[in-house]
Amino acid sequence: LADLLPAMDGDTKTMTFLQEVVDILLAYIVESFDRETKVVDFHYPNELLQMNNWELQDEPATLDDILISCRATLKYAIKTAHPRYFNQLSTGLDMVGLAADWLTSTANTNMFTYEVAPVFVLLEYVTLKKMREIIGWSDGRGDGIFSPGGAISNMYAMLLARFKMFPEVKEKGMSSVPRLAAFTSEHSHFSIKKGAAALGIGTESVICIKADESGKLIPADLERRILEGFVPFFVSATAGTTVYGAFDPLIAISDICKKYNVWMHVDGAWGGSLLMSRRHRWKLDGVERANSVTWNPHKMMSVPLQCSALLVREEGLMQNCNQMHACYLFQQDKHYDLSYDTGDKALQCGRHVDIFKLWLMWRAKVGKSSLFEAIQHHCNLKSSSLYLPQPCFPQNIPRSGAFSPCSFCVFTQPQHTNVCFWYLPPGIRYMEDKEERKKHLHKVAPVIKARMMEYGTTMVSYQPQGDKVNFFRMVISNPAATFEDIDFLIEEIERLGQDL
């Protein structure tokens, strides 16, 4: 280890070491895409803790130990690139994105100033402008920042909305502000409430608006609740809800926001990437009327984790809201155009370079062809496999696959690539007592998921929602997935659950 750079003449030893690591990584990548490999070699936490020497020792390891640790870490990792990994909204591994992330690590710098990250700061500038153009803001004007995830982007939006209405809150805090109210659908992401708790607004000030059966916010209910009293300052519409993949009606919501002079935010963390699709972007019609938009390229666009943008329509607001003028970082007597020192817009001081992987993938993939096609590919997979136009429980499901009729039930019309469904094992398929059946059904998904992880063949998520007991939520955002992989998932669920 002492022979690696910066040691004198450490070049050769360093190249050899890094190349050995790269060889391990390349082998892992090839394996990850191989359907013969397991998605996970699962072990319970206490087991896994004992299976390898993970504890930190007082004696330094050798270079060989380090390589062994790398292999062990990958052995027990989840293969998120695997074509049969359907577990999260972010799946897959893009090769250009990966190369860009390796370069980012090697450049090892910080986004706060042009001084230390000239290229990355420019690429962020160029890319944010393009994203704003795509949203539909004229000439791509506005502002924005890449943040560590959609939850933080949403929190930024709420922070900006409050500051816009009550700029004195920055100095004087919430005691200078009347009782506020924020509004979001009952299907929205939990980060809206987390943000309100953190910002001192309080979760009780987040009013949950009713959603219809498909998961879309009901505008009439929004207007009714806005009229109830407290000062409305923030509406967060969701473009692509986490569970159902529903798109709130942005145009109707924006009319209400305009009428009551409320900041309109669109949480497009999941669905925002449909703006890149000619065929699907209508689902976000009205997004150009928003004051701010969250859009996570690390989800549907398959950019490596993390890559989340907040786009803001008003220029200068982020800077005014968050700046503290730290004179050791944002010196005002520098010799270049200070508008490129973007760090004071953020709550973070140091900020990881998340832009390069998006920028490089955009260069590689956007155009008449592939990035559009990738999203198209995801949407096609969704629509032709488990698609059902109507809630059907417990009707038959018309589908050509191998599983038996009535064993699966897709209960909302998919609007995005989320497909939510129950598996009905033979034992409860014809139960007559509805409550009894629900009770049993609730336990089915967790058992199948546990078995699935132990077999390690595929992974899919499940959860309850409102009055709906535990159901599976298959999400397609992995460019490696095919129809056959989805069939595999379905058959695996049936195989693992037929005795339940």
Contacts of its own copies in 455-474 (CB under 8 A):
461-465, 470, 473
Q: Is 440 in the site for its own copies (CB under 8 A)?
A: no
Closest CA to 304 of 239, 241, 353: 353
Q: Is 498 in the site for its own copies (CB under 8 A)?
A: no
**Torsion angle of C-alpha atoms 151, 231, 290, 324, degrees rounded to 10:** -60
Neighbours of 106 (CB within 10 A): 8
Q: Is 446 in the site for its own copies (CB under 8 A)?
A: yes
Q: Which residues are CB-neighbours of 171 under 8 A, at least 6 positions away? A: none
Closer by beta carbon to its own copies, 109 or else 413: 109
Which of the ranges 98-106, 387-395, 430-438, 488-496 carries the binding residues for its own copies, by CB under 8 A? Answer: 98-106
421 and 480 in contact (C-beta within 8 Å)?
Answer: no
Among 348, 404, 413, 498, binds its own copies (CB under 8 A): 348
- Report in angstroms how near the CB of residue 74 gets to its own copies at its nearest: 7
- Per CB under 8 A, which of residues 137..196 are in contact with its own copies? 148-152, 155, 159, 162, 169-177, 179-180, 189-191, 193-196
- Per CB under 8 A, which of residues 378..437 are in contact with its own copies? none
- Per CB under 8 A, which of residues 3..42 are in contact with its own copies? 4-6, 10-11, 14-15, 17-19, 21-22, 24-26, 28-30, 33, 40, 42
Q: Which residues are CB-neighbours of 108 under 8 A, at least 6 positions away? A: none
Which of the ranges 272-280, 363-371, 395-403, 429-437 carries the binding residues for its own copies, by CB under 8 A? Answer: 363-371
Among 220, 279, 324, 483, binds its own copies (CB under 8 A): 324
Tell me how many degrees the CA angle 56-59-60 measures, rounded to the nearest 5.
85
359 and 130 in contact (C-beta within 8 Å)?
Answer: no
Per-residue x/- track, 195-214, its own copies (CB under 8 A)? xxxxxxxxxxx---------
- Per CB under 8 A, which of residues 40..69 are in contact with its own copies? 40, 42-46, 48-49, 54-61, 65-66, 69
Number of helices (H) and strands (E) in the chain: give both, helices first.
Answer: 16, 12
- Per CB under 8 A, which of residues 216..235 are in contact with its own copies? none
Q: Where are the beta strands (DSSP E) in 215-287?
A: 231-238, 263-268
**Ramachandran angles phi, psi of 293, nearest 5°:** -140, 130
Strand partners, 143: 312
178 and 187 in contact (C-beta within 8 Å)?
Answer: no
Strands 459-465 and 231-238: unpaired
Q: Is 84 in the site for its own copies (CB under 8 A)?
A: no
- Report in angstroms how near the CB of residue 290 gets to its own copies at its nearest: 21
**Ramachandran angles phi, psi of 158, nearest 5°:** -65, -40
Q: Where are the alpha helices (DSSP H) in 267-354?
A: 317-322
Among 427, 443, 483, 484, binds its own copies (CB under 8 A): 443
Closer by beta carbon to its own copies, 380 or else 404: 380
Locate 182 and state its tokens.
Answer: 């924020």
Closer by beta carbon to its own copies, 254 or else 294: 294
- Report in angstroms how near the CB of residue 176 gets to its own copies at its nearest: 7
Q: Is 331 in the site for its own copies (CB under 8 A)?
A: yes
